[in-house]
């Protein structure tokens, strides 16, 4: 007798252990102590059957125990399914309008919810009848109304499953509709089809849950039909924070306020409950690994590992597990060596690039220092004021002039003298210019260079060489002039070449125009300018033998209130005024 009791006790312990194991592995659906199902329908939180079991009154499910099995109701509508992904399925009734020879029998249903909206993608408005027009519209001022027409001469004209408007029509429901009211009418009171089709019907139903049949037009039995309808629900003015006890729940914000919660991938359960999402053991439920691989379950995922000596990801859906290919093993060192070589080349390229960037930065700093040392800031300020200066003056960059002269190639040299070297340059717009690279023996001569710039910027005369701009970014400042094609007056007067012969008339014109240029410099300019180095080599000629006075390195500005100033004697000996040479008094004479 004692052995029987021991056996029964052991069986009870085993049964209790199985029950607890199953309960522990089953995700929670409802709140603790709340009904988790009503009849055949599971009631997940935030829905509930009263008290604290539902999140708000709008999520109350009335479980009617008078039915066998019990039936859940949301308001007046029977619920057939609730899912935690934001959808609920209920049953809708059929509105009808029936006629006979003496009276009319009709019943129009409405559908009203405050918390939920009709899913416009899964439901449609449907009307049936051979003399029917049907309208569906809202109750709550959302201002929508839609409908359709259905006609047929007799039932033989109707095709089963066809939505052609012959005996059957459908139309879509607007988005976010929370209520509807159906009305039906007939143009001829079904007089012509009374025997075959005495009634018109209309309803909202899931698209996949009704297929039209000609038999639906006969008699009045169709008026007792109910159809599933899908509703969308969400939680308003709250979030998933209460349920989000860990990082395995996502909060999905809906467009018109409200929230939905969802377990992360690899988890299953009710995300609205604390610890409602449980890990899926993919190793047991899916058997995702290759036969030789070992499956390890991880939170939200899994891992397949191949045996020692095998390669691959171990997954059935992947590469599985296989022995390594011998040819591949031979090429592995080569691939490794190639990888090292590529890495070394990448490192070398990176070092070269870094050095180049460092060099460019140093060049940029040097150019900026040269620009400041060469008086660039002062020049820029004066040019910005544009007081008496031409509008076409430009400050060039060192890079522009290097490209223009092919890096100051000797083949581009036009001439050399005491003031510097002149190069032929071609700018980016194909304009040909003369670029003067001044010779400055000491920093004090920078003032002389800036002096030439300031003088030429104020000059605008046809017989004076035109200054186009300057560059102060180089150690030796540069001037950019218009290019004069026919060399100097000195060349034409002292060259034995017959092509350089100048008539007396041309010589006289050159002398006159040169004198006019000097007169302009002495009197017509806003501030008188004394050249101090007029000679044949400083008078350039164009193709028409028009003279251009150039080389203003020794020029000075004479203040308007002074007739003469004292200066250090500058110029070319043999061309200097004897009085100026002896007295150092500079005048326009």
DSSP letters of 557-576? Answer: E--TT-S-EE----S-TTSS
Query: Does 367-483 match 490-589 in CATH topology?
Result: no
CATH of domain 280-326: 2.10.25.10
Quick one: which H or E segment has residue 287?
none
Model pLDDT, residue 526: 60
pLDDT of residue 254: 57
Where are any strands of DSSP class E within 408-500? 413-417, 420-426, 432-438, 467-471, 478-482
Q: Domain 490-589 maps to which CATH number in 1.10.510.10, 3.10.129.10, 3.40.50.300, 3.40.50.720? A: 1.10.510.10
pTM, to two decimals: 0.50
Distance CA 454, CA 433 (A): 19
CATH number of 87-232: 2.60.120
pLDDT-flagged residues of the chain (< 70): 1-27, 140-142, 163, 237-257, 326-332, 375, 377-378, 382-393, 417-419, 439-452, 454-456, 497-500, 524-527, 532, 552-589
First to last CA, the chain: 149
Instruction: Determine contact, residues 567/556, Cβ cutoff 8 Å.
Output: yes
Secondary structure element (H or E) that encloses residue 117, with its range = strand 117-118
Give me the pLDDT at residue 46, please.
92
What is the spatial distance between Cα 201 and Cα 192, in angstroms, rounded to a whole number?
Answer: 17
Q: 372: which 2 tokens?
A: 């400041």
- Chain-centroid distance, C-alpha 106: 58
Handedness of CA 547, 552, 555, 561 (dihedral sign): positive
Catalytic residue selected from 131, 232, 279, 533: 533
Instruction: Classify residue 497 by burial, with Cβ atoms within 10 Å: 0-12, 13-18, 19+.
Output: exposed
d(CA 197, CA 154) in angstroms, rounded, equals 8
Domain 367-483 CATH assignment equals 3.30.200.20: yes
Which conformational region is residue 574 in: left (phi greater than 0), alpha (psi within -120 to 50 degrees), or beta?
left
What residues have CB less than 8 Å from 151, skipping those under 6 apart?
130, 131, 132, 165, 166, 167
Q: Which two tokens stand for residue 68?
A: 């066998």
pLDDT at residue 570 in the model: 42
Per-domain residue ranges of the chain: 25-80+236-279, 87-232, 280-326, 367-483, 490-589
Query: How would you classify the pairing of strands 104-107 and 95-99?
Result: antiparallel
How much is the pLDDT for 383? Answer: 64
Residue 533 designated active-site: yes
């Amino acid at each position: 007798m004692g052995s029987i009791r021991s056996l029964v006790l052991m069986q009870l312990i085993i049964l209790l252990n199985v029950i607890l194991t199953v309960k522990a592995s089953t995700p929670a659906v409802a709140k603790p102590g709340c009904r988790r199902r009503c009849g055949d329908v599971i009631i997940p939180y935030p829905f509930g059957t009263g008290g604290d079991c539902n999140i708000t009154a709008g999520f109350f499910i009335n479980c009617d125990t008078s039915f066998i099995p019990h039936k859940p109701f949301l308001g007046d509508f029977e619920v057939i399914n609730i899912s935690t992904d934001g959808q609920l399925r209920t049953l809708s009734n059929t509105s009808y309008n029936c006629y006979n020879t003496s009276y009319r029998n009709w019943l129009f249903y409405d559908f009203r919810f405050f918390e939920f909206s009709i899913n416009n993608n899964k439901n449609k408005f449907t009307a049936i009848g051979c003399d029917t027009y049907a309208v569906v519209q809202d109750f709550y001022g959302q201002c929508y109304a839609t409908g359709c027409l259905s006609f047929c001469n007799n039932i033989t004209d109707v095709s089963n499953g066809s939505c052609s408007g012959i005996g059957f029509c459908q139309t879509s429901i607007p988005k976010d509709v929370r209520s509807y009211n159906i009305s039906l009418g007939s143009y001829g009171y079904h007089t012509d089809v009374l025997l075959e089709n005495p009634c018109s019907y209309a309803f909202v139903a899931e698209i996949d849950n009704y297929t039209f049949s000609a038999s639906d037009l006969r008699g009045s039995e169709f008026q007792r039909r109910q159809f599933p309808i899908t509703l969308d629900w969400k939680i308003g003015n709250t979030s998933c924070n209460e349920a989000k006890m860990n990082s395995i729940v996502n909060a999905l914000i809906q467009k018109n306020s409200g929230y939905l919660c969802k377990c992360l991938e690899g988890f299953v359960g009710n995300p609205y409950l604390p610890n409602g999402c449980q890990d899926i053991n993919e190793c047991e439920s899916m058997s995702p690994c290759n036969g030789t691989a070992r499956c390890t379950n991880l939170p939200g995922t899994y891992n397949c590992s191949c045996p020692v000596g095998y390669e691959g990801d171990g997954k059935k859906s992947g590469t599985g597990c296989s022995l390594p290919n011998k040819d591949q093993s031979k090429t592995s060192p080569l691939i490794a060596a190639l990888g090292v070589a590529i890495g070394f080349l990448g490192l070398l390229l990176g070092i070269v690039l870094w050095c180049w960037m460092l060099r460019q930065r140093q060049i940029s700093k040097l150019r900026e220092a040269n620009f400041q040392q060469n008086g660039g800031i002062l020049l820029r300020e004066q040019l910005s004021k544009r007081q008496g200066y031409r509008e076409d003056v430009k400050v060039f960059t060192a890079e522009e002039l290097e490209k223009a002269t092919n890096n100051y190639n000797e083949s581009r040299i036009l001439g050399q003298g005491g003031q510097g070297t002149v190069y032929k340059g071609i700018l980016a717009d194909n304009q040909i210019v003369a670029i003067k690279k001044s010779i400055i023996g000491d920093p004090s001569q920078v003032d002389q260079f800036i002096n030439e710039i300031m003088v030429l910027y104020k000059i605008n005369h046809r017989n004076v060489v035109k200054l186009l701009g300057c560059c102060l970014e180089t150690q030796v400042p540069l001037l950019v002039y218009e290019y004069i094609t026919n060399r100097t007056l000195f060349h034409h007067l002292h060259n034995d070449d017959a092509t350089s012969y100048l008539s007396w008339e041309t010589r006289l014109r050159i002398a006159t125009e040169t004198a006019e240029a000097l007169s302009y410099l002495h009197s017509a300019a806003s501030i008188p300018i004394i050249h101090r180095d007029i000679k044949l080599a400083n008078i350039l000629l164009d193709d028409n033998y028009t003279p251009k006075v150039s080389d203003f390195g020794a020029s000075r500005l004479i203040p308007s209130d002074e007739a003469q100033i004292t200066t250090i004697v500058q110029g070319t000996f043999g061309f200097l005024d004897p009085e100026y040479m002896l007295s150092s008094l500079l005048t326009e004479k």
